[in-house]
Structure 1
Amino acid sequence: MSDDAAPETTEQTPPWAHAQTPGEQDGEPGYLAAVTDLLGALAYGELRAFSQLAKDAELAPSLRHKSALAVLAAHELRNYSVLTERLQSLGVEPESAMQPFVPAVDAFHERTNPSDWLEGLVKAYVGEGIAQDFYREISRYVDEDTRALVVSVLEDTGQAEFAVTVVREAIAAEPRLAGRLALWGRRLVGEAITQAQRVGVERDALASILVGAPGRAGADLAELGRMFARLTDEHSRRMERLGLSA
């Protein structure tokens, strides 16, 4: 145990609540814009995930399944609240921070509208999982307080196990579903990576987290290649857990 004990925190006071403003920590004013982009993108993603899960709950075949999806939707809404509170603490209007990401995120959801509740589950697990992996990768290059917040928001609280169990049960009962859902999963990965690339290209501040800026190191081209390889590998593992071919 270190003699330099960290200040006590509680569930009501997370470790990032009293963090310095990004940019003050590293002396780079542009860094605040980068963190604002990261949190804004995450916040809008959580808001859309909440809306999608609430919509998917209406398609669920039983009250048990509806209840489970409602709980997952509530979790996304809590994450949204945490992120918007952090943005406000930085002096940033949450809606302004989210607005640049509305077109890309909305386009992803419009192009991947599930036709039934099983497709909705696969999308929540596979499609959202790819986006979350992308933001985890970005969080490796931000300050400790922001990284702790991002990791906390992206932490799985049972969503994965629920999706895997239900999809596997459905395939066991009706094996022909596997082919259709596997094709759906492949479509999701393509759309999700396209969205991630679009966001990175269109937002210079967010891209600067990955590629670096004067006085702040980022990932080189080789590491960026490895990052996208990791995203693809994680997608394959998720598909395997669902009992689907990637």
Structure 2
Amino acid sequence: MTQTSSPPSGTPAPDGAAAPDQATVDLLGLLAYGELTAFERMATDARMSPTLGDKMALAAMAAAEFTHFQAICEELDRLGVTRESAMAPFVAPLTAFHNSTAPADWLESLVKAYVGDNIAADFYREIATRLPSPSRELVLRVLDDTGHGAFAIERVRAAIGENPIVAGRLALWARRLVGEALTQAQRVGVDRDALTGLLVGVGDLDALAAIFNRIMAAHSARMAALGLSA
């Protein structure tokens, strides 16, 4: 059942306003918690940075992720949904994903953010196109790259140039990330019928296959940009 109470900092939905559909609430809650954890991880990655310039760049990206988090929370407020209740169903699956994919070093953290987070973002974009406005536009805007893509590509390619042997290790790591990310998405889909319903509603199996093919094509392009084999 959709939670309609608002947080202390939010504004309750006007009396008589239609309750937001569960799929919208679920996707916003999923993204809110994802952005919050992305902020935490990038702040941690900034501490691991090998240079002061890298530290400053990642700190700026972490700040951008938190800005995205705040924007989603404001949309939940507008809908009259408690932030914590919207995020709560996704704490366990996202925590499990991050616990099972803890990077061993700086390079693995860059690949995780670029490959693992983006394959999930591609999946969320496919769902977001079926949301009502203005939630749809907000989600698509929040999923825009904060600059981490170009940053990761430059740093990973430079590392491979200095020591080509790391390419094999990072390629294996990226494949593991994809497998774990798809498992996470499947778990969320099983638990949250409303999100699954948005994808089922796209039509026949060919349409679903086309979605999957687009996601995997984007993943292959990102791997190539890093200089890694998919």
With structure 1 as the length reference, what TM-score do the two structures score? Answer: 0.84
- Contact 2:112/2:177, CA 8 A, preserved across alignment: yes
**1:102 paired to 2:74:** no
Aligned counterpart for 2:209 among listed residues 219, 225, 228: 225
* Separation in structure 2 between the aligned mates of residue 224 and residue 87 of structure 1, nearest angstrom: 29
Residue aligning to 1:148: 137
* 1:84-119 deviation per Cα after TM superposition (whole angstroms, max 9, x unaligned): 110011000011000001111111100100000110
Runs of 4+ in 1 over 3 A off after TM superposition: none
Residue aligning to 1:127: 116
Q: Which runs of 5+ in 2 are unaligned?
A: 1-13
Alignment partner of 1:58: what SS? helix
**Which runs of structure 2 are paired with 1:10-159 in the superposition (5 Å)?**
24=18, 32-159=21-148
Alignment partner of 1:114: what SS? coil
Instruction: Give the counterpart letter for 1:226 in structure 2.
Output: A
Instruction: Give the counterpart letter for 1:103 in structure 2.
Output: A
Residue aligning to 1:194: 183
**1:174 paired to 2:158:** no
**1:244 paired to 2:203:** no
* Separation in structure 2 between the aligned mates of residue 145 and residue 221 of structure 1, nearest angstrom: 29
* Separation in structure 1 between the aligned mates of residue 148 and residue 50 of structure 2, nearest angstrom: 18
Aligned-CA RMSD value: 1.5
Q: Give the C-alpha shift of residue 197 in structure 1.
A: 1.3
Alignment partner of 1:61: what SS? coil
Between the two proteins, the alignment pairs up a number of residues equal to 215
Bigger CA drift: 104-113 or 150-159? Answer: 150-159
- Contact 2:40/2:62, CA 8 A, preserved across alignment: yes
* Separation in structure 2 between the aligned mates of residue 55 and residue 233 of structure 1, nearest angstrom: 30
Q: Give the C-alpha shift of residue 178 in structure 1.
A: 0.5
* 1:30-66 deviation per Cα after TM superposition (whole angstroms, max 9, x unaligned): x621100010000001011111111111111111111
Instruction: Give the counterpart letter for 2:205 in structure 1.
Output: L
* 1:1-38 deviation per Cα after TM superposition (whole angstroms, max 9, x unaligned): xxxxxxxxxxxxxxxxxxx9xx95xxxx6x62110001
Q: Which runs of 5+ in 1 are unaligned?
A: 1-19, 213-217
- Contact 2:103/2:109, CA 8 A, preserved across alignment: yes
Seq. identity, % = 55
**1:211 paired to 2:195:** no
Bigger CA drift: 137-146 or 97-106? Answer: 137-146
* Separation in structure 2 between the aligned mates of residue 180 and residue 65 of structure 1, nearest angstrom: 22
